[in-house]
Amino acid sequence: METLTNVVQTAPVQVSVPVEQSFKIEDVLNMVKKVNDTFAYEVFVPSLNKTVFFREINTSQQKRLIKAIIDSPVFNTEFIFALRQIVKENCVDEKIITDNLTILDKFVIALSMRSVSIGDNYEVELECPNEKCKTPYKQTLSLKAITDKAKTVQLVTKTITDESGKFSCDCSIPTVSVEYQLEKEFRSNVDDTDIKNVEEARKMIGDVFIGEIVKYINTLTVVTPEKTIQFGFNNVSMQNRITLIEQLPDKFVKKIIEYINDISKEIDKVSLLNFECTKCKEKIDWRMTLNANFFTNS
């Protein structure tokens, strides 16, 4: 007689691992930041003469840059504000004061951010300047190749003295902080679409011109028979800087402009690109400038 044995099959016991859900939002944000730090990339910063790690642009920052597209067509103010803050947020080395970096540093960092976060290839549209040709071109640039040129740039500080020796200025390439201060004081509240007459337009152009000059001046020294005064510009409003510069001799200011032009030529080693029209062989110069559209995907 056969004996039947009932075999009871039991499912394997599943041990549930508790998932902690008591984290605060600050804890999660810190964890995300740590993860992002592992994907940081190196950027050569010219003024520091070394490489510095930066994080990739995140979604919130991309949103801020896109919002800056709706800005003044003349001043590009909102983009300057947004990029300054993003450079500060994305610098991994907290010992570096990003406001003390130069506008060239910012330019190189921005190109690197775009290269890593969105894509290294950047397409530009050109046109032959020859009136008889006007052939249009599309060129695809490597942003990394452009930033590599920054290692050859030499930006020197200079003390400029007038012929009489009564005035002198210590000059250098502007910092991010100086650029921001100028924008904050003069341009953020200006509606350049509401220029009522020619005089208002002239005043605006004049302020922009003088404002660009004062960005390069750190100190002004005035020598009189009684005493010598050295006046630092660090904690001086842009309006007061302009008021001082407007009183200086024209020949002296022209020497400052010559220094600015020399600095611009050095920066052009990075930002000015040269092409040749394949049809008429005309030289095509194209200068890369930064704005919010530079950080869009298209």
User: What pTM was computed for the model?
Assistant: 0.81
Confidence of residue 3 (pLDDT cuts 50, 70, 90): very low
Return the number of other C-beta atoms located less than 10 Å from residue 95's C-beta: 5
Predicted pLDDT at 120: 95
The yes-or-no verdict on residue 172 having pLDDT over 80 is: yes
Structure token digits, residue 48 = 């520091």
Predicted pLDDT at 2: 43
d(CA 222, CA 48): 31
Predicted pLDDT at 72: 54
Confidence of residue 53 (pLDDT cuts 50, 70, 90): very high
What percent of the chain has pLDDT above 70?
78
Average pLDDT over residues 233-257: 90
Give the CA radius of gyration of the chain: 28
203: which residues sit within 8 A by CB, 6+ positions away? Answer: none
What percent of the chain has pLDDT above 90?
59
Confidence of residue 182 (pLDDT cuts 50, 70, 90): confident
Residue closest to 156 by CA, chosen among 240, 52, 46: 46
Average of per-residue pLDDT values in the chain: 84
Confidence of residue 247 (pLDDT cuts 50, 70, 90): very high
Q: Are strands 158-161 and 136-142 parallel, antiparallel or unpaired?
A: unpaired
Predicted pLDDT at 6: 46
Confidence of residue 183 (pLDDT cuts 50, 70, 90): confident
The yes-or-no verdict on residue 222 having pLDDT over 50 is: yes
Average pLDDT over residues 212-220: 93
Residue closest to 175 by CA, chosen among 125, 218, 131, 228: 218
